[in-house]
Structure 1
């Protein structure tokens, strides 16, 4: 009889690159998967756990019966939709980290605003709840934004800048509601969040809260919004790793993050935050208890640091430090079509591959599927990652990239 595997297990809420490299670290891996979900190289993961994301009570019951549960040393999550799974698994396995009450707040922008209003009101813009199916007077002075409470990636956000925008904005969201739920596999809350449209510089910040409440941050990531590119949408066009972010700006952003952590009583967790800064004032737009999208790859390319490994250490109760090994500039560019329609082709990708800063690109959406703006409930059909030691050369390649790409759609 073979010897029973005694390696500690790291349980992931979905397939992740780190899960495939744990054997070399003396660890075993387990990943949740949805029914019918196709996985590449499945033999690289020790345990695949099929579950129904619409029946989390069944997941809770499964954990209680799993013979290997005592071996689980940590739970990790990188997915927007699986924050509650992360919290339920932590609780069921009696591990440190996020709990269901915190996950509920992180997944609902209105609940986050209400908590901050009680404990850290300086991080909030003016806001109100809006009933989706009811008409009434505008909830705030113009300009303001309407947002779904529990959608992500700037989707279905609509601007109300004058009185005549108000009713059309509501109708636009109503008309896209069902399609967005089906496309992204979420049940949207039946009301919206209205909040003041903020002016200022946009940043994201990733950090880690230890079990003792200490915090470690990676450098802030400046964001170029769609509006800065002259686009009537609310997605982030470019995420930058720029080594020259001013220390005073970093301190202001980190201070806001610390206030959020205390308001949520967060411990033993990663933290990703989107913020707006204007002068000495900082507002929080959104937050999640996970490593941000693209961020681990960006920091590995720019600094030689893995946020995924830091997240693992924090989940396992170890200390972490920010220890950059080198310094480069990185840009992640998300590209959208000019109009909604059925994707025909994306032109200019070969020219992009010849750029001096080119690292990789990914076409997320195949020809024949419907694409559109984030405000209509779509994610970007293609993104590009560029790397260069020289920020000015990187910026030039981003501008050239914009000139190369043409996303062709048909209206049907």
Structure 2
């Protein structure tokens, strides 16, 4: 019987090349784009996908998995005996408590809810704690259950339309903080539930800043799932909505517009669209330049200081090794006041150095990332990929250094 259905890439006995082709097609990437981002030729990609060439070496398999956003390496290789989560970190001990709070209805609570102003002050403290703590997931995970329940209760008890909108704006931001905590943990359904609830609350609030933040996070969720078109649609719709508010916008609203502009560039870079990626980065740079000196958006980290780090990310996603290193050298990482954001920047620098063939420097940079915020690097798929790749190095000293870092990240756990 004829069957026109797309084959399941996770069902045996599909070969590596077939899995790669199905996953590439699902991501909407052409062979020339994948070839360019891997530093190979389109004919090589075709030969791999058609089985004329067998599975490449392990280091290249890891890079293909990163490019295609394969969450478990076995999904690409078909080897179920060697499952390695690349873009999903371990479940945090506080995850069940956060999940329970998100799922709670608060219907039976008779206590009086805190005011929106009180909740906003607690949120500000929580964001500050996240930026300052090396173990930021632990800190945020302790604060979130109470914040979630209180913000949900506040929306239920609001007496007036204006009070309800204010409570919804706070609730949306609580969900934004929750999304930072839940990201890259083994509960994708919870991540999407938080993202969707955050968007609904933001729209109910009618607050441009809240809507922009929710869209920024939702676009990231779409892109990290490989849905580039959905990420672009979300970003462009949010930018179009915010445009009317920008002439008189305060710094935080202007900053979320700038963060969305960079997101458009980030997605373009992931597609391999060089001109569009740098064009959007330049628009974001102009927006950042109009912010008050020293301003730092507490949710997106958007600021004048972050644009150097963003340039590194664009170059890395375009797989431009030399340009990535030049941008890394030029970026003023000391000016990034957030420990997790600084650690993320160090990881991007490490990607740049590895692309440029400077593996030893890449490992040293990852060690700096671990020192800044261990919980950032432990949950970062790019860092995990580099470390795993270098544990296979032909140089014993480098293997030992990578193995020590792998042990710190929990990658060698049984």
Task: Give the TM-score, by structure 2 length.
Answer: 0.28
Greater fraction helix:
2
